[in-house]
Chain A
Amino acid sequence: MKLKYYFIAIFFTLNFCLVFSQDNCNVFLMKGDSCRYKACKFLEESPDYFQLTQKYMEIKDKAIEMCPEYALVYKQKSTAFLKTGDFINWKTLIDKAVKLNPKENLNYRGWCRFQFFRDYKGAIQDIEELDRIVDYDIGYCQNGDYHLNIAKGLCYKMLGKKVKAIQIIKNQIEKDTTCQGLYDHLHLGVLFLETNDYEKAINEFKKQSKINEIAETYYYQALAFKKIKNQEKYSRDIKKAQELYLSKKYMIDIYTHHIDKIYLQDIQNEIEKNQD
Protein backbone atom coordinates (compact mmCIF):
# COMPACT_ATOMS: atom_id res chain seq x y z
CA MET A 1 0.00 0.00 0.00
CA LYS A 2 2.72 2.43 1.05
CA LEU A 3 4.80 1.47 -1.96
CA LYS A 4 1.94 2.58 -4.18
CA TYR A 5 2.15 6.08 -2.72
CA TYR A 6 5.90 6.23 -3.09
CA PHE A 7 5.55 5.27 -6.75
CA ILE A 8 2.88 7.91 -7.24
CA ALA A 9 5.14 10.52 -5.60
CA ILE A 10 8.11 9.52 -7.77
CA PHE A 11 5.91 9.55 -10.87
CA PHE A 12 4.73 13.07 -10.16
CA THR A 13 8.18 14.34 -9.38
CA LEU A 14 9.61 12.93 -12.61
CA ASN A 15 6.60 14.02 -14.58
CA PHE A 16 6.87 17.58 -13.32
CA CYS A 17 10.61 17.67 -13.94
CA LEU A 18 10.12 16.58 -17.54
CA VAL A 19 7.14 18.81 -18.22
CA PHE A 20 8.89 21.76 -16.66
CA SER A 21 12.21 21.26 -18.36
CA GLN A 22 11.15 21.18 -22.01
CA ASP A 23 8.12 21.34 -24.30
CA ASN A 24 7.44 18.96 -27.16
CA CYS A 25 8.55 21.23 -30.03
CA ASN A 26 6.55 19.31 -32.63
CA VAL A 27 3.34 20.56 -31.04
CA PHE A 28 4.32 24.09 -32.10
CA LEU A 29 5.23 22.85 -35.56
CA MET A 30 1.83 21.20 -35.95
CA LYS A 31 0.13 24.40 -34.85
CA GLY A 32 2.14 26.39 -37.40
CA ASP A 33 3.77 28.38 -34.58
CA SER A 34 7.23 28.86 -36.10
CA CYS A 35 8.33 31.39 -33.48
CA ARG A 36 7.93 29.02 -30.52
CA TYR A 37 9.04 26.05 -32.62
CA LYS A 38 12.40 27.70 -33.41
CA ALA A 39 12.99 28.76 -29.82
CA CYS A 40 11.94 25.35 -28.56
CA LYS A 41 14.28 23.54 -30.96
CA PHE A 42 17.08 25.89 -30.01
CA LEU A 43 16.57 25.04 -26.33
CA GLU A 44 16.30 21.34 -27.09
CA GLU A 45 19.61 21.36 -28.94
CA SER A 46 21.44 23.57 -26.44
CA PRO A 47 23.69 22.06 -23.78
CA ASP A 48 22.19 21.52 -20.35
CA TYR A 49 23.56 23.79 -17.62
CA PHE A 50 22.73 24.12 -13.93
CA GLN A 51 19.79 26.54 -13.54
CA LEU A 52 21.73 29.21 -11.68
CA THR A 53 24.63 29.53 -14.09
CA GLN A 54 25.43 32.40 -16.41
CA LYS A 55 25.44 30.05 -19.41
CA TYR A 56 21.98 28.75 -18.57
CA MET A 57 20.69 32.33 -18.48
CA GLU A 58 22.45 33.24 -21.74
CA ILE A 59 20.78 30.34 -23.55
CA LYS A 60 17.38 31.36 -22.21
CA ASP A 61 17.96 34.95 -23.31
CA LYS A 62 18.78 33.82 -26.83
CA ALA A 63 15.55 31.80 -26.90
CA ILE A 64 13.64 34.90 -25.75
CA GLU A 65 15.29 36.92 -28.54
CA MET A 66 14.07 34.30 -31.01
CA CYS A 67 10.54 34.26 -29.59
CA PRO A 68 9.70 36.85 -26.92
CA GLU A 69 6.21 35.36 -26.55
CA TYR A 70 7.46 31.94 -25.41
CA ALA A 71 6.24 31.71 -21.80
CA LEU A 72 8.20 28.62 -20.74
CA VAL A 73 11.55 30.41 -21.04
CA TYR A 74 10.56 33.11 -18.55
CA LYS A 75 9.40 30.41 -16.17
CA GLN A 76 12.69 28.54 -16.55
CA LYS A 77 14.66 31.74 -15.91
CA SER A 78 12.56 32.56 -12.86
CA THR A 79 13.55 29.36 -11.07
CA ALA A 80 17.11 30.47 -10.37
CA PHE A 81 15.82 33.53 -8.53
CA LEU A 82 13.22 31.51 -6.70
CA LYS A 83 15.81 29.11 -5.38
CA THR A 84 18.04 31.90 -4.12
CA GLY A 85 15.15 33.65 -2.38
CA ASP A 86 15.21 36.62 -4.78
CA PHE A 87 11.47 37.27 -4.70
CA ILE A 88 11.64 40.47 -6.76
CA ASN A 89 13.30 39.07 -9.88
CA TRP A 90 11.41 35.79 -9.56
CA LYS A 91 8.07 37.58 -9.53
CA THR A 92 8.92 39.79 -12.52
CA LEU A 93 9.80 36.75 -14.64
CA ILE A 94 6.99 34.46 -13.53
CA ASP A 95 4.46 37.26 -14.03
CA LYS A 96 5.61 37.50 -17.62
CA ALA A 97 5.11 33.73 -18.05
CA VAL A 98 1.64 33.92 -16.49
CA LYS A 99 0.68 36.85 -18.70
CA LEU A 100 1.72 34.96 -21.84
CA ASN A 101 0.21 31.63 -20.84
CA PRO A 102 -1.94 31.71 -17.70
CA LYS A 103 -3.33 28.20 -18.11
CA GLU A 104 0.10 26.62 -17.92
CA ASN A 105 1.73 28.92 -15.38
CA LEU A 106 -0.82 29.96 -12.77
CA ASN A 107 -0.42 26.60 -11.04
CA TYR A 108 3.33 27.07 -10.68
CA ARG A 109 3.15 30.71 -9.57
CA GLY A 110 0.39 29.94 -7.10
CA TRP A 111 2.23 27.00 -5.63
CA CYS A 112 5.55 28.88 -5.34
CA ARG A 113 3.88 31.84 -3.66
CA PHE A 114 2.70 29.39 -1.05
CA GLN A 115 5.75 27.16 -0.75
CA PHE A 116 8.57 29.68 -0.96
CA PHE A 117 7.10 32.94 0.30
CA ARG A 118 4.10 31.91 2.40
CA ASP A 119 2.05 34.40 0.38
CA TYR A 120 -1.26 32.74 1.25
CA LYS A 121 -3.57 35.33 -0.29
CA GLY A 122 -1.56 35.44 -3.52
CA ALA A 123 -1.50 31.64 -3.78
CA ILE A 124 -5.28 31.42 -3.27
CA GLN A 125 -5.83 34.06 -5.95
CA ASP A 126 -3.72 32.14 -8.48
CA ILE A 127 -5.22 28.73 -7.72
CA GLU A 128 -8.78 30.08 -7.85
CA GLU A 129 -8.05 31.98 -11.05
CA LEU A 130 -6.72 28.80 -12.65
CA ASP A 131 -9.82 26.92 -11.55
CA ARG A 132 -11.95 29.62 -13.15
CA ILE A 133 -10.24 29.59 -16.55
CA VAL A 134 -9.81 25.86 -17.14
CA ASP A 135 -12.43 23.16 -17.55
CA TYR A 136 -10.18 20.33 -16.39
CA ASP A 137 -8.70 19.32 -13.06
CA ILE A 138 -6.25 22.01 -11.90
CA GLY A 139 -3.76 19.31 -10.96
CA TYR A 140 -0.92 18.96 -8.51
CA CYS A 141 1.75 21.23 -7.11
CA GLN A 142 5.28 21.38 -8.48
CA ASN A 143 6.86 18.87 -6.10
CA GLY A 144 3.91 16.49 -6.34
CA ASP A 145 3.19 16.49 -2.60
CA TYR A 146 -0.30 17.96 -2.90
CA HIS A 147 -3.24 18.53 -5.18
CA LEU A 148 -3.51 22.29 -5.59
CA ASN A 149 -6.84 22.27 -3.75
CA ILE A 150 -5.09 20.84 -0.69
CA ALA A 151 -2.50 23.64 -0.96
CA LYS A 152 -5.37 26.13 -1.19
CA GLY A 153 -6.90 24.60 1.95
CA LEU A 154 -3.59 25.00 3.77
CA CYS A 155 -3.47 28.67 2.73
CA TYR A 156 -6.91 29.24 4.26
CA LYS A 157 -5.76 27.50 7.42
CA MET A 158 -2.75 29.80 7.68
CA LEU A 159 -5.05 32.80 7.24
CA GLY A 160 -7.01 31.54 10.25
CA LYS A 161 -9.98 30.21 8.27
CA LYS A 162 -9.84 26.68 9.63
CA VAL A 163 -13.42 25.61 9.00
CA LYS A 164 -13.09 26.59 5.35
CA ALA A 165 -9.74 24.78 5.18
CA ILE A 166 -11.31 21.58 6.55
CA GLN A 167 -14.10 21.79 4.00
CA ILE A 168 -11.70 22.26 1.06
CA ILE A 169 -9.28 19.51 2.09
CA LYS A 170 -12.07 17.06 2.95
CA ASN A 171 -13.78 17.69 -0.38
CA GLN A 172 -10.58 17.09 -2.31
CA ILE A 173 -9.81 13.85 -0.45
CA GLU A 174 -13.35 12.57 -1.07
CA LYS A 175 -13.28 13.68 -4.69
CA ASP A 176 -10.18 11.73 -5.59
CA THR A 177 -9.60 8.65 -3.47
CA THR A 178 -7.22 7.06 -5.97
CA CYS A 179 -4.50 9.68 -5.90
CA GLN A 180 -4.02 11.23 -2.49
CA GLY A 181 -1.09 13.34 -1.46
CA LEU A 182 1.64 12.29 0.92
CA TYR A 183 0.35 14.38 3.80
CA ASP A 184 -3.36 15.08 3.10
CA HIS A 185 -4.77 13.14 6.07
CA LEU A 186 -2.13 14.53 8.40
CA HIS A 187 -3.09 18.13 7.59
CA LEU A 188 -6.79 17.35 7.91
CA GLY A 189 -6.15 15.61 11.22
CA VAL A 190 -4.19 18.58 12.54
CA LEU A 191 -7.03 20.89 11.52
CA PHE A 192 -9.52 18.73 13.44
CA LEU A 193 -7.13 18.74 16.40
CA GLU A 194 -6.88 22.53 16.28
CA THR A 195 -10.66 22.85 16.18
CA ASN A 196 -11.03 20.47 19.16
CA ASP A 197 -12.57 17.59 17.19
CA TYR A 198 -10.28 14.91 18.62
CA GLU A 199 -12.02 11.72 17.45
CA LYS A 200 -12.05 12.94 13.86
CA ALA A 201 -8.42 13.97 14.21
CA ILE A 202 -7.39 10.50 15.38
CA ASN A 203 -9.36 8.94 12.55
CA GLU A 204 -7.41 11.01 10.00
CA PHE A 205 -4.07 10.21 11.64
CA LYS A 206 -4.86 6.50 11.35
CA LYS A 207 -5.51 6.92 7.63
CA GLN A 208 -2.27 8.91 7.28
CA SER A 209 -0.24 6.16 8.96
CA LYS A 210 -1.46 3.64 6.42
CA ILE A 211 -0.31 5.85 3.55
CA ASN A 212 2.93 7.39 4.76
CA GLU A 213 4.19 6.73 8.28
CA ILE A 214 5.98 9.80 9.63
CA ALA A 215 6.84 11.27 13.02
CA GLU A 216 4.41 14.18 12.63
CA THR A 217 1.37 11.88 12.52
CA TYR A 218 2.23 10.23 15.85
CA TYR A 219 3.19 13.51 17.47
CA TYR A 220 -0.18 15.09 16.70
CA GLN A 221 -2.02 11.86 17.45
CA ALA A 222 -0.34 11.83 20.86
CA LEU A 223 -1.60 15.38 21.45
CA ALA A 224 -5.12 14.28 20.50
CA PHE A 225 -4.96 11.36 22.95
CA LYS A 226 -3.67 13.72 25.61
CA LYS A 227 -6.70 15.94 25.07
CA ILE A 228 -9.10 13.02 25.57
CA LYS A 229 -7.02 11.94 28.57
CA ASN A 230 -5.83 8.63 27.18
CA GLN A 231 -2.42 8.62 28.82
CA GLU A 232 -1.43 5.17 27.64
CA LYS A 233 -1.91 5.92 23.95
CA TYR A 234 -0.39 9.38 24.40
CA SER A 235 2.82 7.86 25.80
CA ARG A 236 2.88 5.18 23.12
CA ASP A 237 2.52 7.66 20.28
CA ILE A 238 4.93 10.29 21.52
CA LYS A 239 7.61 7.61 21.82
CA LYS A 240 6.76 6.35 18.34
CA ALA A 241 7.08 9.93 17.02
CA GLN A 242 10.55 10.20 18.56
CA GLU A 243 11.56 6.83 17.14
CA LEU A 244 10.39 7.76 13.64
CA TYR A 245 12.08 11.15 13.79
CA LEU A 246 15.38 9.59 14.78
CA SER A 247 14.98 7.19 11.84
CA LYS A 248 14.62 10.30 9.61
CA LYS A 249 10.97 9.58 8.84
CA TYR A 250 9.48 13.07 8.92
CA MET A 251 8.14 15.70 6.53
CA ILE A 252 10.93 16.78 4.25
CA ASP A 253 11.53 18.99 1.26
CA ILE A 254 14.80 20.05 -0.31
CA TYR A 255 13.83 23.73 -0.56
CA THR A 256 11.45 24.60 2.26
CA HIS A 257 9.73 23.37 5.41
CA HIS A 258 6.16 22.03 5.30
CA ILE A 259 3.20 23.40 7.18
CA ASP A 260 2.63 21.24 10.33
CA LYS A 261 6.23 20.03 10.29
CA ILE A 262 7.68 19.27 13.70
CA TYR A 263 11.26 19.05 14.92
CA LEU A 264 12.97 16.66 17.29
CA GLN A 265 12.99 19.37 19.93
CA ASP A 266 9.17 19.63 19.76
CA ILE A 267 8.91 15.94 20.61
CA GLN A 268 11.49 16.18 23.38
CA ASN A 269 9.74 19.21 24.88
CA GLU A 270 6.48 17.27 24.92
CA ILE A 271 8.12 14.29 26.58
CA GLU A 272 9.70 16.53 29.23
CA LYS A 273 6.41 18.34 29.83
CA ASN A 274 4.73 15.01 30.45
CA GLN A 275 7.41 13.93 32.93
CA ASP A 276 6.92 17.07 35.06
Chain B
Amino acid sequence: MIRNLQIICFSLLIQIFNSCNTTKNVSKEYPRMIGDIAFDEKIDSTEFKLCNNDSLVVQYYAFTKIVGGKTYLDEKYEVEKIFEKNYNHKIVKKESGNIRIRFLVNCKGVSGRYRIIGMDKNYKEKHFDTSITNQLLSITQRLVKWKPFIKNNIQRDYYQYLIFKIEKGELIEILP
Protein backbone atom coordinates (compact mmCIF):
# COMPACT_ATOMS: atom_id res chain seq x y z
CA MET B 1 0.00 0.00 0.00
CA ILE B 2 2.72 2.47 1.03
CA ARG B 3 4.80 1.41 -1.97
CA ASN B 4 1.81 2.06 -4.29
CA LEU B 5 1.32 5.49 -2.80
CA GLN B 6 5.00 6.24 -3.31
CA ILE B 7 4.73 5.25 -6.99
CA ILE B 8 1.62 7.45 -7.49
CA CYS B 9 3.28 10.43 -5.79
CA PHE B 10 6.44 9.95 -7.81
CA SER B 11 4.44 9.76 -11.09
CA LEU B 12 2.50 12.90 -10.16
CA LEU B 13 5.70 14.76 -9.39
CA ILE B 14 7.16 13.78 -12.78
CA GLN B 15 3.99 14.90 -14.55
CA ILE B 16 3.94 18.25 -12.73
CA PHE B 17 7.63 18.73 -13.49
CA ASN B 18 7.08 17.89 -17.18
CA SER B 19 4.06 20.15 -17.56
CA CYS B 20 5.91 23.08 -15.97
CA ASN B 21 8.82 22.45 -18.25
CA THR B 22 6.65 22.33 -21.38
CA THR B 23 4.74 25.47 -20.54
CA LYS B 24 7.95 27.30 -19.78
CA ASN B 25 9.54 26.30 -23.08
CA VAL B 26 6.50 27.15 -25.18
CA SER B 27 5.77 30.50 -23.60
CA LYS B 28 9.41 31.35 -24.02
CA GLU B 29 9.11 30.62 -27.72
CA TYR B 30 5.78 32.28 -28.56
CA PRO B 31 4.13 35.39 -27.24
CA ARG B 32 0.35 35.58 -26.69
CA MET B 33 0.06 36.43 -30.39
CA ILE B 34 2.75 36.37 -33.05
CA GLY B 35 4.16 39.85 -33.38
CA ASP B 36 2.99 41.12 -29.98
CA ILE B 37 4.82 44.25 -28.87
CA ALA B 38 5.25 44.43 -25.12
CA PHE B 39 6.09 47.77 -23.50
CA ASP B 40 9.85 48.24 -23.18
CA GLU B 41 10.83 51.07 -20.87
CA LYS B 42 14.22 51.42 -22.57
CA ILE B 43 12.79 52.38 -25.96
CA ASP B 44 9.08 53.12 -25.60
CA SER B 45 7.55 56.43 -24.64
CA THR B 46 5.70 56.34 -21.35
CA GLU B 47 3.29 58.91 -22.77
CA PHE B 48 1.79 56.37 -25.15
CA LYS B 49 -0.98 54.43 -23.42
CA LEU B 50 -3.29 51.73 -24.63
CA CYS B 51 -6.96 52.27 -23.83
CA ASN B 52 -7.49 48.62 -22.98
CA ASN B 53 -5.35 45.78 -21.75
CA ASP B 54 -2.54 44.44 -24.01
CA SER B 55 -4.47 41.19 -24.39
CA LEU B 56 -7.36 43.01 -26.06
CA VAL B 57 -5.32 44.51 -28.91
CA VAL B 58 -6.67 43.45 -32.30
CA GLN B 59 -4.84 42.80 -35.56
CA TYR B 60 -5.26 45.04 -38.57
CA TYR B 61 -3.65 44.56 -41.96
CA ALA B 62 -4.26 46.83 -44.95
CA PHE B 63 -5.38 50.44 -44.62
CA THR B 64 -8.63 49.60 -46.31
CA LYS B 65 -11.02 46.96 -45.09
CA ILE B 66 -14.32 45.69 -46.40
CA VAL B 67 -16.09 46.07 -43.08
CA GLY B 68 -15.26 48.85 -40.66
CA GLY B 69 -13.84 51.39 -43.11
CA LYS B 70 -10.30 52.54 -43.64
CA THR B 71 -7.77 52.87 -40.83
CA TYR B 72 -5.93 55.90 -42.18
CA LEU B 73 -7.86 59.03 -43.03
CA ASP B 74 -7.48 59.76 -46.75
CA GLU B 75 -6.20 56.22 -47.24
CA LYS B 76 -2.82 54.96 -48.36
CA TYR B 77 -2.67 57.81 -50.87
CA GLU B 78 -1.87 60.28 -48.12
CA VAL B 79 0.66 57.99 -46.41
CA GLU B 80 2.53 57.67 -49.71
CA LYS B 81 2.49 61.42 -50.26
CA ILE B 82 3.85 62.10 -46.77
CA PHE B 83 6.79 59.75 -47.36
CA GLU B 84 7.34 61.10 -50.87
CA LYS B 85 7.59 64.60 -49.45
CA ASN B 86 9.68 63.85 -46.37
CA TYR B 87 11.99 60.93 -47.17
CA ASN B 88 15.31 62.21 -48.49
CA HIS B 89 17.17 59.47 -50.35
CA LYS B 90 20.08 61.78 -51.18
CA ILE B 91 21.41 61.67 -47.64
CA VAL B 92 21.19 57.91 -47.06
CA LYS B 93 23.47 54.92 -47.57
CA LYS B 94 22.69 53.15 -50.86
CA GLU B 95 21.32 49.94 -49.37
CA SER B 96 18.52 47.67 -50.69
CA GLY B 97 15.88 45.40 -49.17
CA ASN B 98 12.67 45.68 -47.17
CA ILE B 99 12.09 47.38 -43.84
CA ARG B 100 9.03 46.72 -41.71
CA ILE B 101 7.87 49.06 -38.99
CA ARG B 102 5.17 47.57 -36.78
CA PHE B 103 3.41 49.52 -34.11
CA LEU B 104 0.28 49.95 -32.03
CA VAL B 105 -2.52 52.40 -32.58
CA ASN B 106 -4.60 53.10 -29.50
CA CYS B 107 -8.33 53.70 -29.41
CA LYS B 108 -7.76 57.44 -29.82
CA GLY B 109 -5.81 56.97 -33.04
CA VAL B 110 -2.41 57.66 -31.41
CA SER B 111 0.48 55.37 -32.41
CA GLY B 112 3.39 54.04 -30.33
CA ARG B 113 5.75 51.12 -29.48
CA TYR B 114 7.41 51.02 -32.89
CA ARG B 115 9.53 47.99 -33.84
CA ILE B 116 11.78 47.69 -36.89
CA ILE B 117 12.99 44.63 -38.78
CA GLY B 118 14.86 44.54 -42.08
CA MET B 119 15.66 42.01 -44.75
CA ASP B 120 17.97 41.81 -47.73
CA LYS B 121 16.80 40.65 -51.14
CA ASN B 122 17.09 37.02 -50.04
CA TYR B 123 14.78 37.50 -47.04
CA LYS B 124 17.74 37.30 -44.64
CA GLU B 125 17.81 39.62 -41.65
CA LYS B 126 19.54 42.90 -42.41
CA HIS B 127 20.33 45.87 -40.20
CA PHE B 128 19.95 48.93 -42.37
CA ASP B 129 21.98 52.05 -41.85
CA THR B 130 20.36 54.50 -39.44
CA SER B 131 20.36 57.18 -42.15
CA ILE B 132 17.50 55.13 -43.66
CA THR B 133 15.77 53.65 -40.60
CA ASN B 134 15.79 56.85 -38.54
CA GLN B 135 14.11 58.76 -41.35
CA LEU B 136 11.48 56.07 -41.91
CA LEU B 137 10.77 55.79 -38.20
CA SER B 138 10.56 59.53 -37.72
CA ILE B 139 8.12 59.95 -40.63
CA THR B 140 6.03 56.99 -39.42
CA GLN B 141 5.82 58.61 -35.99
CA ARG B 142 4.52 61.76 -37.64
CA LEU B 143 1.55 59.95 -39.25
CA VAL B 144 -1.20 61.32 -37.08
CA LYS B 145 -4.39 60.42 -38.86
CA TRP B 146 -4.79 56.81 -37.74
CA LYS B 147 -8.45 56.20 -37.11
CA PRO B 148 -9.80 54.59 -33.98
CA PHE B 149 -11.03 51.06 -34.62
CA ILE B 150 -14.50 50.30 -33.34
CA LYS B 151 -15.73 46.75 -32.87
CA ASN B 152 -19.07 45.89 -31.27
CA ASN B 153 -19.41 49.57 -30.28
CA ILE B 154 -16.17 49.35 -28.30
CA GLN B 155 -13.12 51.36 -29.33
CA ARG B 156 -10.17 49.01 -29.61
CA ASP B 157 -6.38 49.34 -29.79
CA TYR B 158 -4.86 47.65 -32.83
CA TYR B 159 -1.62 46.63 -34.52
CA GLN B 160 -0.61 48.15 -37.83
CA TYR B 161 2.49 47.82 -39.95
CA LEU B 162 4.19 49.42 -42.93
CA ILE B 163 6.77 47.79 -45.19
CA PHE B 164 9.16 49.98 -47.13
CA LYS B 165 10.83 48.65 -50.27
CA ILE B 166 14.22 50.27 -50.52
CA GLU B 167 16.36 50.20 -53.67
CA LYS B 168 19.85 51.69 -53.34
CA GLY B 169 18.55 53.94 -50.61
CA GLU B 170 15.49 55.10 -52.55
CA LEU B 171 11.98 54.40 -51.28
CA ILE B 172 10.33 52.48 -54.13
CA GLU B 173 7.07 51.24 -52.63
CA ILE B 174 5.13 51.27 -49.38
CA LEU B 175 3.19 48.16 -48.40
CA PRO B 176 0.86 46.49 -47.55
Interface residues of A (CB under 8 A from B): 50, 52-54, 57-58, 61, 80-81, 83-88, 91-92, 116-118, 252-257, 263-266
| Chief secondary structure at chain B's binding surface | mixed
Determine which of A53, A81, A256, A266 lies in contact with B77 in the assembled complex, contact meaning CB atoms within 8 Å. Answer: A266
Residues of B within 8 A of A87 (CB): 98, 100, 117, 119, 123, 163
Given contacts A80-B34, A84-B35, A88-B125, contact A52 B66 (CB under 8 A): no
CA distance A263 to B174 in the complex (A): 15
Determine which of B30, B62, B123, B125 lies in contact with A57 in the assembled complex, contact meaning CB atoms within 8 Å. Answer: B30
Given contacts A52-B34, A52-B59, contact A85 B173 (CB under 8 A): no
How many of B's residues come within 8 Å of A, CB to CB? 36
Q: Does B61 contact A (CB under 8 A)?
A: yes
- 16 A-B pairs (CB sep. < 8 Å): A50-B33, A54-B27, A57-B29, A58-B26, A84-B102, A85-B163, A86-B100, A88-B124, A116-B175, A116-B176, A118-B165, A254-B62, A263-B75, A263-B76, A265-B74, A266-B77
CA distance A176 to B176 in the complex (A): 30
Residues of B within 8 A of A117 (CB): 98, 163, 165, 175
CA distance A86 to B27 in the complex (A): 19
Residues of B within 8 A of A252 (CB): 64, 66
Given contacts A118-B175, A266-B77, contact A88 B123 (CB under 8 A): yes
Q: Which of B27, B62, B74: most chain A Cβ within 10 A?
A: B62
CA distance A33 to B77 in the complex (A): 51
CA distance A57 to B28 in the complex (A): 12
Q: Does B32 contact A (CB under 8 A)?
A: yes
Residues of B within 8 A of A257 (CB): 62-64, 76, 175-176
Report the nearest B residue to A57, measured CB to CB: B30
What is the distance, in angstroms, from B84's C-beta to the closest C-beta of chain A?
13
> Beyond A84-B35, A86-B35, A116-B176: 16 further Cβ-contacts under 8 Å?
A52-B33, A52-B59, A54-B32, A57-B29, A61-B26, A83-B59, A85-B161, A87-B119, A87-B123, A87-B163, A91-B123, A252-B66, A254-B65, A255-B176, A256-B176, A257-B63
Q: Per-position contact with A for B102-135: 1 when CB-CB < 8 Å, else 0?
A: 1000000000000001010001110000000000
Q: Does B54 contact A (CB under 8 A)?
A: no
CA distance A157 to B158 in the complex (A): 34
Q: Does B159 contact A (CB under 8 A)?
A: yes
CA distance A265 to B75 in the complex (A): 9
CA distance A57 to B64 in the complex (A): 28
Residues of A within 8 A of B76 (CB): 257, 263
CA distance A117 to B172 in the complex (A): 12
Given contacts A52-B33, A85-B163, A263-B75, contact A254 B61 (CB under 8 A): yes
What is the distance, in angstroms, from B32's C-beta to the closest C-beta of chain A?
6
Residues of B within 8 A of A61 (CB): 26
B32-84 CB contacts (< 8 Å) to partner A:
32-35, 59, 61-66, 74-78
Given contacts A85-B102, A88-B117, A257-B62, contact A53 B32 (CB under 8 A): yes
Residues of B within 8 A of A86 (CB): 34-35, 100, 117
